[in-house]
Structure 1
Amino acid sequence: MGIFSRKSKGESSTPEAEHESAESTLSGAADEESRGTERAATGPWDVTERPEPGELIDFGALRVPGVDGMSVRLQADSQDVIGGITIQIDQSSLQLNVFAAPRNSGVWDDVRSEVAASITRDGGVADEAQGPFGTELHARVPVNTPRGGSHGLAPARFIGVDGPRWFVRAVITGKAAVDEAAAKDLEGIIGGIVVVRGTEARPPREVLALTAPNVVAPAPATPEAKPDDFNPLERGPEITEIR
């Protein structure tokens, strides 16, 4: 019997069931503590751990460090809800999204498996590897040209970090996906993120909507080659930019 199982009216708990429930609770708490310990060494951070935003750019649910020379585009759906941001530095890009997660378990293990399966199904390649934030995916994903033609495979790194009731997904593409030196600035941004989840009850994997900082001004998106829609958590086109 799982910790969230319902029992019928009048049914009494057995010592075995109570013991199993207690073990499940302790196991979930231990897993959460372990994830928090690992994350504490690298980030991203929960707002309770870093309550002062400092020099971070405030996107609402995400507070993100700024780096010289970076540009930022906001990703919005058809309802103009901002679900993520894409940061560009030189020849490299970093896509960031944040989602709700269960209190006592992370979602990155499951999401990672789903993304890998989707990439493979679409003709790409995805392998697990250890990175500065734990297990990540090193992939080569199908890419389409602006006119819809196939353009081969492009490298990408999928990074996931489970926090207290939230999950950050980061996707690195371009030069930084294969060049450690080029990845340093983007990894530094990931490690400096502060998540402001809020206290509302939310279903797992629900996107935490972002807000545009005051420095954002509308700008047309530039057509460019994009990976196929292999990601089950993709949140829509990039529509605005800051520099």
Structure 2
Amino acid sequence: MFGRRNKKESAAEAEAASGAEQVDVDDVAADEPGPGAERARLEPEPRPDGPWDSTEVKDPAEGRVDLGGLFVPGVEGMELRVEVAGDAIVAATVVLRDSAVQLQAFAAPKREGIWGEVREEIATGITQQGGVIDEVEGPLGWELRAQVPVKLPDGTGGFQVVRFVGVDGPRWFLRGVISGQGAVQPQAAGLLEQIFRDTVVVRGEGPMAPRDPIVLKLPDDAQMVAEGGVKQEDQAGSRFSGGVDQLARGPEITEIR
């Protein structure tokens, strides 16, 4: 099952990206100032267990769904939703029972990891909204475990627990947002974590500005039937802090096989 949502936050992100100067990330100076500049800019860590670059996998399509910029592992019983910014698909969310992981890939410098900076941006955005952040070293490396303020169905305020994970690759950065039971019960997150690890990123050789989203596509054989809608709301904070509101069932497109 494929879901399709059109978020204002994603649209704003795409608009900002389209106005950025298109330069090769390899040409970006290592000491260029930016958000979180006080963090050391380190080379990407080794990834012996993934996620994988397309050059590291013999056949990325084997056992995975081809979304163009991402090859997402296929798991029995999963629902796959996509996030759009304008006409571009920029993220995919895998839903398994009462848990989900959103996957989104971005361009990044070749010799610099950006996950440290991104964690800081996400943490700042959430705490400014009144949320709580805990930075811990988990099964996927350093991650943020957040309690994010949300409006409950009855109109009262509450908190939603979300895990932000990320991995730096060669000229790309993959962010994951784990939500639902997988964010609060470690035993429920194992399969979602494995999906994140086994995802393949296709960065491409073309020039991209740092942090531009790597655009995705729908599978060629997907047949789509639109379903109901949900009100979209603006989301403040870092462009990387999206994913919190993906738990709500949005306008969906159902795959029929």
TM-score range, shorter chain: 0.7 to 0.9
- Alpha-carbon distance in structure 2 between the residues aligned to 1:216 and 1:192: 25
1:194 aligns with 2:200: yes
CA distance in 2, matches of 1:165, 1:123: 33
When normalised by structure 1's length, the TM-score is 0.78
Q: Does the 8 A contact of 1:100 with 1:205 survive in 2?
A: yes
Residue 174 (structure 1) aligns with: 180
Q: What residue is the counterpart of 2:115 in the other structure?
A: 108
For residue 127 of structure 1, the aligned residue among 134, 153, 163 is: 134
Aligned residues: 212
User: Is 1:118–2:125 an aligned residue pair?
Assistant: yes
Q: Which runs of 4+ in 1 moved over 2 A?
A: 144-147, 218-231, 233-243
What residue in structure 2 maps to residue 141 of structure 1? 148
CA displacement at 1:4 relative to structure 2: 4.1
Aligned CA distance change for structure 1 residues 221 and 94 (closer, same or farther; 3 Å): farther
Structure 1 unpaired stretches of 5+: 6-27
Identify the residue that residue 36 of structure 2 maps to in structure 1: none
Distance 2:122 2:149 in 1: 13
Which structure 2 segments of 5+ residues have no match?
1-27, 31-40
Matched position secondary structure for 1:182: helix
8 Å CA contact 1:145–1:225 kept in 2: the answer is no
Q: Partner of 1:61 in structure 2? A: 69
**Structure 2: distance between partners of 1:141 and 1:114:** 14
Aligned mates of 2:117, 2:166 — CA distance in 1? 11
2:109 and 2:171 in contact (8 A); partners too: yes
* Aligned-partner Cα distance in 2 for 1:221–1:56: 28
Pick the aligned partner of 1:72 from 63, 68, 80: 80
Q: 1:162 aligns with which of 152, 158, 168?
A: 168
Deviation digits for residues 167-212 of structure 1 (CA, Å, limit 9, x no counterpart): 0000001110011111011011001100111001111110011001
* Identity rate, percent: 40
CA distance in 2, matches of 1:76, 1:230: 19
Structure 1 residues 115 and 108, CA gap change in structure 2 (3 angstroms): same
How far apart, CA to CA, are the structure 1 residues paired with 2:50 and 2:126?
27
Tell me the distance in 2 between the aligned counterparts of 1:158 and 1:227: 19
Cα separation, 2, equivalents of 1:240 and 1:101: 30
Give SS of 2:187's match.
helix
- RMSD over aligned Cα atoms: 2.8
TM-score between the two structures when normalised by the length of structure 2: 0.74
CA distance in 2, matches of 1:90, 1:222: 21
Q: Find the counterpart in structure 2 of residue 204 from structure 1.
A: 210
1:19 matched residue in structure 2: none
Superposed displacement of residue 82, structure 1 = 0.5
| Cα shift at 1:146 | 6.5
- Cα pair distance change 1:134/1:221, threshold 3 Å: farther
- Residues 4, 89 of structure 1: CA spacing in aligned structure 2 closer, same or farther, 3 A cutoff? closer
1:51 to 58, 63, 68: 58
Kept in 1: contact 2:133–2:145 (CA 8 A)? yes
User: Between Structure 1 and Structure 2, whose CA radius of gyration is higher?
Assistant: 1
